[in-house]
Chain A
Amino acid sequence: QSVLTQPPSASGTPGQRVTISCSGSSSNIGSNTVNWYQHLPGTAPKLLIYSHNQRPSGVPDRFSGSRSGTSASLAISGLQSEDEADYYCAAWDDSLNGPVFGGGTQLTVL
């Protein structure tokens, strides 16, 4: 059971906007920055969003993040077929003294 809770799956059609939620607690999301990763099978995870809503260079502005209280969300607008991947949220946990991840959300582009 992951410390951060994500829906196991999400889907959308090309061009649509989808959101993926991530629920935590006061010891992680509530007090530390949230990060999002995109993971394609057989490859290394890729940092998509850091510090709640910042994009590393090279990440399209179709990807955006937000945090409210002990929850966070990743939004993908203008959905494309290449966005089909697993998405993970992560945050530092003050109680566990380490990073915690969500269980991952498998995004399907219909």
Chain B
Amino acid sequence: QVQLVESGGGVVQPGRSLRLSCAASGFSFSSYTMHWVRQAPGKGVEWVALISYDGSNKYYADSLKGRFTISRDNSKNTLYLQMNSLRGEDTAVYYCARVHIAMVIVGANFDSWGQGTLVTVSS
């Protein structure tokens, strides 16, 4: 079955960097666009970034202003999120999510999610 497992979260000081990983299994990873979505404490769900199935297209939420970089390694079935210049407002649970349909970039239908990894930005 489809499985997504995030890792790399933790406590980090403001201004520092962190890289999250999402290990995928149970499906043809290279055929699916992947997303990062986050939820800050007490807040709603917020989209962060997406990368197309072949890695050629990347889109980001405007609020991130170039601080985050999404990437993938299809040979390792792994999705990444490099987060730089972290701020307190980046504190959240970060989820990786798979779109519902293979070989499609546009859409907001995520049929599989990881359990999330908590990132806490604090001095």
A: residues with CB less than 8 A from B are: 2, 32-33, 35, 37, 39, 43-47, 50-51, 56, 86, 88, 90-92, 96-104
* Complex CA distance for A45 and B97, rounded to whole angstroms: 10
When distances are taken between beta carbons in the complex, the residues of chain A under 8 Å from B110 are 35, 37, 45, 47
B: residues with CB less than 8 A from A are: 35, 37, 44-47, 49-50, 59-62, 95, 97, 100, 106-111, 113-116
**Chain A residue with minimal CB distance to B116?**
A44
Q: Are B45 and A45 in contact, CB atoms less than 8 angstroms apart?
A: yes
Q: Are B47 and A56 in contact, CB atoms less than 8 angstroms apart?
A: no
* Complex CA distance for A31 and B44, rounded to whole angstroms: 23
Given A43-B115, A56-B111, A98-B59: A92 and B44 interface contact (C-beta under 8 Å): no
What are 16 A-B interface contacts by the 8 Å CB criterion? Answer: A32-B107, A32-B108, A33-B107, A35-B110, A44-B95, A44-B114, A45-B110, A47-B111, A86-B44, A88-B45, A90-B45, A97-B59, A98-B59, A99-B107, A101-B44, A104-B45
When distances are taken between beta carbons in the complex, the residues of chain B under 8 Å from A90 are 45, 108-109
* Complex CA distance for A55 and B35, rounded to whole angstroms: 21
Known: A44-B95, A44-B114. 14 other contacts (CB 8 A): A2-B44, A35-B109, A47-B109, A47-B111, A51-B109, A56-B100, A56-B111, A90-B45, A98-B60, A98-B61, A99-B107, A99-B108, A100-B47, A101-B44
Given A44-B95, A47-B100: A92 and B45 interface contact (C-beta under 8 Å): no
